[in-house]
Structure 1
Amino acid sequence: MSDNNDSTTDTPTRRDALKYGGTLATGVAFAGCSDLAGQNEGTDDPSGDGSYSVTMAPMGEVEFDSPPESIFTRLTHHAGMAFALGRGNDVNAMHAPDYYDQLWNQFTERLPGITLDWSGLYSSWDPDKEELYDLDSDVHLADPASVNALDSWSTSDIDEIGGTVGPWFGNKFSDRHGEPPAEWADRYEYYTLWEMFEKVAAVFREEARYEALAEVHTNLLETIEADLPPEENRPTVVMAGMSDIESMYVYTLDTPGFLLAHVRPLGPIGTLGDDISSGDTIDMEGLLEADPDVLFSLGGMSPGTDMSNIRDDLENHAVGRELSAVQTDRVYAQGARYQGPILNLFQLEMSAKQLYPDVFGEWPTYADGPYPEIPDDEQLFDRQAVADIINGDFA
């Protein structure tokens, strides 16, 4: 984008309630958001009145005078955080909104009284700067470094939007610990999904909601960890995009970052060769060489995907039918990689059942549609409790 667009660069600051902390600030990213909120000249006002600041790489310290209302997002882990905080319908932009609206609603179907509508929002994968002025968002829950990596955005564009519209607050390269653009490298840090969620919750002064959901998450992890089989009894796994079984992109299980936040705690054994990296493609012969006990189909719960067709294609393939996972009916759907905290809960439960049905209960055969109904006594977390937290109805 041009840096000399008179229609935007001369626009006065229009955001009195939100103050941008500076994209170029290096700021230390502290461990807990309780150390981050209310740090402006000693101000600490839990009611939400008065200024406060939150620090996260790569932005540094970002100052707010009140919790943001309208929310721009780019990737769905940030939109999912807004949703978890009861602010899902305040999101005004995201990547592929109609697609992700349908995908997220595959899961919200199982949360009593929860509704979500992202259909028709502005699609923000490569956002237009003029559109960001039109949206006039109180906060941009997006990583300025990842936006700066787009050919259409310069550092001055990033600073302009952050200073005249609303601050940037997001982190993308924690997804698999990728390299940010060189000009951001010295201020970048990586976070887990829930560490990032804690900081986003502090932006909205929703620490109590975060703590309540974090307790659900901790209890779920403890349930899983208490009953995990020893490593020698765990299945081998390949995660692959199965839309084209002749050329499948794969993710290795040792990939760092939050894209595997729903699988890593379960400790399955990766079986791809050392010469394969996440994002590489393999053919059916390569998959047979790995021959996993369990085959995870990335995007298998996406709208328009029919897992029955994927299983049929594998069974009818001269090489695919030789796969152990195909012969034992252990080809399973996965949901979203940029999952956010609520989908993380569902996908932890889903993956636990897929990997260890004898321990955590059988995963129902899934073809398409919403997340399957799980009997109450086989659920690994309380749906009503999560719905109450999203709705703000909790002690």
Structure 2
Amino acid sequence: MEEEETAYDAPTRRKWLKYSGAVVGGGLLAGCTGDPESESQTTTASEEGSYSATLAPTGEVTLDSEPEDIFTMLGHHADMVLSVGRSDDMNAVFEPGYHQGLYRKLTHHLDGVSVDWEGLYSSWQPEKEKVYELDSDVHIADPAKVATADGWDKSDVQDIADNVGPWFGNTLSGTNRTPPEGWRDQYEYYTLWEIFGRVAQLFGEDERYEALASVHESMVQSIEENRPPESERPTAALVLFSTSDDTGWGYKMNNPGYYAAHTRPMGVTDTLSETFGEGYGDGGRNMPFDYELLLEADPDVFLVLGSMTEYFNLDEIRKGLEDHEVASELTAVEEGNVYAQGARRQGPLLNLFQLEMTAKQLYPEQFGEWPGYENGEPYPEIPEEEQLFDRDRVAEIISEGA
């Protein structure tokens, strides 16, 4: 009990941080339309030199000085902190070993950019005592999501904001899921890059955001302009295979939300949604399947989530499909179109790499052949003339600023 009391008696940061939980109205959320100019008008540094940004569901948050200890929870927010050059200041992230392993495969190609998340607090589900103990200057996490964790409610979230540091994050925009009770009136949905823009501006990193957003916009425009006509595009399925039996889960590829930020621009036919209807997987949840169900949909291409992480082995997945009586009949398996993917919960850096890999996996004639992913190795080497974005430019933005 004594340790718990000590944790909850952590000194207040109210003199250092000013937090406003005002409900975000439509006028403050002009940036949700996707207009970069609107975004820049809604989140600004104050005249006194502090850092201020607006993001639902917290509203406006203002910091009196640059944060030094940064709490993150889920991968997309950790990616955003990394992308503004502040990953060394993180003290928490969910499954730090998992995320470190994935992101090192990307930063391998970015000179001067690295991640060292070994030993950070694994922050989902968070323990209140540990959040107090970490004494973070800011929590880049969605308070509506945190409030659903075991032992938490809205008042606990507010206590952290009042006594430690503010929350600033948005998670449910991954699939535009319905917020939990108590948060619905103040919740809004954003694209991945809109969330990143506001996180960047809270850190006073407008220029970094704008520079990375320019790289992203250029690549998306190129993909949309050069992808083949709709009649010539393959069917595809974004899937996660079980490691224990002949089942798995499918995920919608063309729905709103940042989970599909790397597949939606491809304009490909999502064969699971097309075959089983709009009600399949509603609410942003995964769509369970077995191999018989997959055979009914029979995609031309499988995009396999998690297979760039240490938790899955793509070679074993492929062999299991090829050796299975039913799965071996799938078109994607017969034609060798079973490809690696990273994760749906992506931030800006993972989004850039996943846009490139997905374009090559689906449309090799237009964007160059995907060289294949070797288990345990970094993201594969791609000849400079076939890269869809400039690695040196991205590395420069992250490590040195715009």
Question: Do both share a fold (TM > 0.5)?
Answer: yes
Picking from 364, 368, 389, the partner of 2:371 is 364
| Structure 1 partner of 2:269 | 269
| Structure 2 partner of 1:388 | 396
Task: Look up the equivalent residue of 2:327 and give its one-letter code.
Answer: G
| Structure 1 partner of 2:144 | 145
Alignment partners' CA distance in 1, 2:318 and 2:74: 30
Mapped contact 1:29–1:60 kept (Cα < 8 A): no
SS of 2:339 mapped into structure 1: strand
| Structure 2 partner of 1:243 | 242
Shift of 1:303: 1.6
Pairing of 1:38-187 with structure 2 (within 5 A): 38=44, 43-44=46-47, 50-187=49-186
Q: Deviations over 1:256-315 (max 9, x none)?
A: 210110110011101111153141210000001000000111111112422111111111
Pairing of 1:292-371 with structure 2 (within 5 A): 292-368=299-375, 369-371=377-379
Q: Deviations over 1:343-385 (max 9, x none)?
A: 1000000000000001100001223121000011100000010
Identity, % of aligned pairs? Answer: 51
Decide which moves more: 205-214 or 297-306.
297-306
Task: Look up the equivalent residue of 1:329 and give its one-letter code.
Answer: G
| Structure 2 partner of 1:35 | 41
Alignment partners' CA distance in 2, 1:375 and 1:81: 27
SS of 1:362 mapped into structure 2: coil
Shift of 1:155: 1.5
| Structure 1 partner of 2:34 | none
| Structure 1 partner of 2:230 | 231
Q: Aligned pair in 2 of structure 1 residues 324, 67: CA closer, same or farther (>3 Å)?
A: same
Alignment partners' CA distance in 1, 2:221 and 2:96: 34
Mapped contact 2:70–2:138 kept (Cα < 8 A): yes
Shift of 1:255: 3.0
Q: Aligned pair in 2 of structure 1 residues 207, 144: CA closer, same or farther (>3 Å)?
A: same
- Given the alignment of the two structures, is residue 256 of structure 1 paired with residue 263 of structure 2, yes or no? no
SS of 1:182 mapped into structure 2: coil
| Structure 2 partner of 1:204 | 203
Mapped contact 2:208–2:401 kept (Cα < 8 A): no
Number of aligned residue pairs: 383
Decide which moves more: 377-386 or 239-248.
239-248
Alignment partners' CA distance in 1, 2:270 and 2:166: 40
Q: Deviations over 1:111-153 (max 9, x none)?
A: 1222111111001001111111211111100000001112311
Question: TM-score, normalization: structure 1?
Answer: 0.93
Mapped contact 1:33–1:54 kept (Cα < 8 A): no
Q: Deviations over 1:141-191 (max 9, x none)?
A: 000000111231122211111011110000010011111111100110000
SS of 1:55 mapped into structure 2: strand
Decide which moves more: 107-116 or 9-18.
9-18
Mapped contact 2:24–2:55 kept (Cα < 8 A): no
Q: Aligned pair in 2 of structure 1 residues 159, 53: CA closer, same or farther (>3 Å)?
A: same
Mapped contact 1:57–1:188 kept (Cα < 8 A): yes
Please provide the CA RMSD for this pair: 1.8
SS of 1:183 mapped into structure 2: coil
Mapped contact 2:252–2:260 kept (Cα < 8 A): no
Alignment partners' CA distance in 1, 2:64 and 2:280: 48
**Displacement over 6 Å in runs of 4+:** none
Shift of 1:38: 4.2
Q: Unmatched 5+ residue regions in structure 2? A: 32-37
Q: Deviations over 1:58-81 (max 9, x none)?
A: 001112212222110110100000
- Given the alignment of the two structures, is residue 25 of structure 1 paired with residue 23 of structure 2, yes or no? yes
